[in-house]
Amino acid sequence: MNTMSARKAMLHLFTVTVVISAAGLCSAQTATYGAPAHPTISLDGQSYTPLSIVTRNMGTPADQTDQFPPHKIIGNIYYVGTKTLSSFLIVTPQGNILLDTTYERNVPTIEKSVTALGFNFSDIKIILGNHAHGDHQEGDALAKHMTGAQVEVMAEDVPALQAMKPGGKDHPIDKVLHDGDAVTLGGTTLVAHLTAGHTRGCTTYTTTAQENGKTYNVIFGCSLRAPAVLTPAIEAEFNHSFQVMHALPCDVLLGDHPSEYGMIEKYAKLQVGGPNPFIDKATCHKELDIEESMFHAIEKEQEAAATHP
């Protein structure tokens, strides 16, 4: 690497780090509790560090706000998010469900995407979120204000959501969900599975979707990304969540960041035509395997540090 490209790379890294710290959200807060460049794990010939995963998830500041072409995923499920922050629209004859409003500043972009697909933003009746971090749920208050929708949240994430007050607005909470609860609208049911670890109330939603007369199991996964420091309580949460995730039937994996399910690659295939690239049982567990390996690597590193301080 020459000096110029080395400097550019450093600047890029610096920018990413600053954004992460300023956001103070998914990506955690500081170099200490944030995403360090160790440990390294390898899976299918690809190396990952906590820092590389956060960088992959968040992209650049522009990636977090730039509209990604809205598109149909399968059945009544559509993508309406930005390049690196997922937002899903589930359409029913009795109104629609929006999963993840992302940052408040992205809500007008999400509205644009919903409209571009031929739906009305005001038809959103229920707002859900994968987890209580600003890059997934900061926009709840504005989206509720614009639609009148009911905001339903997992009980364990309520304290974190109550502390999320963009512009001083209270976070709307119209209904509190518990592990295993069903959210039903217009013949579509989403089941809320508590998959804690990343946050206390991290929620994976599952549903089924129909295409060409077949029914497919769809997972809207919550992030399984571990923090840099694991407490026994957080370890217990993750161990339970990994078990839950391995047991869920899956044909279509989606996630709160598009990179968790290879959206860009699948979308490119969608443009070419052929079988629906989002129906991809083979890669259903890829993100789970990455995060589970990383979790155990962090555990090991932590244990080693405790044994040999």
- Interaction site with Zn ion (CB under 5 A): 26, 133, 223
Instruction: Find the shortest distance in angstroms from Cβ 239 to Zn ion.
Output: 19
CA angle 78/79/84 to nearest 5° reads: 165
Distance CA 41, CA 301 (A): 12
Nearer to Zn ion, 70 or 221 (CB): 221
**In the complex, residue closest to Zn ion by CB:** 26
Query: Tokens representing 299?
Result: 């555990």
Nearer to Zn ion, 35 or 209 (CB): 35
Instruction: Find the shortest distance in angstroms from Cβ 45 to Zn ion.
Output: 27
Contacts of 296 by beta carbon, 8 Å cutoff, 6+ apart: none
Q: How far is CA 177 from the centre of its chain?
A: 18
Nearer to Zn ion, 258 or 277 (CB): 258
The radius of gyration of the chain's CA atoms, rounded to the nearest angstrom, is 19
Instruction: Find the shortest distance in angstroms from Cβ 4 to Zn ion.
Output: 34
Instruction: Find the shortest distance in angstroms from Cβ 98 to Zn ion.
Output: 18
Nearer to Zn ion, 226 or 284 (CB): 226
Nearer to Zn ion, 157 or 181 (CB): 157
Contacts of 122 by beta carbon, 8 Å cutoff, 6+ apart: 146, 147, 148
Contacts of 75 by beta carbon, 8 Å cutoff, 6+ apart: 209, 210, 211, 216, 218
Instruction: Find the shortest distance in angstroms from Cβ 268 to Zn ion.
Output: 26
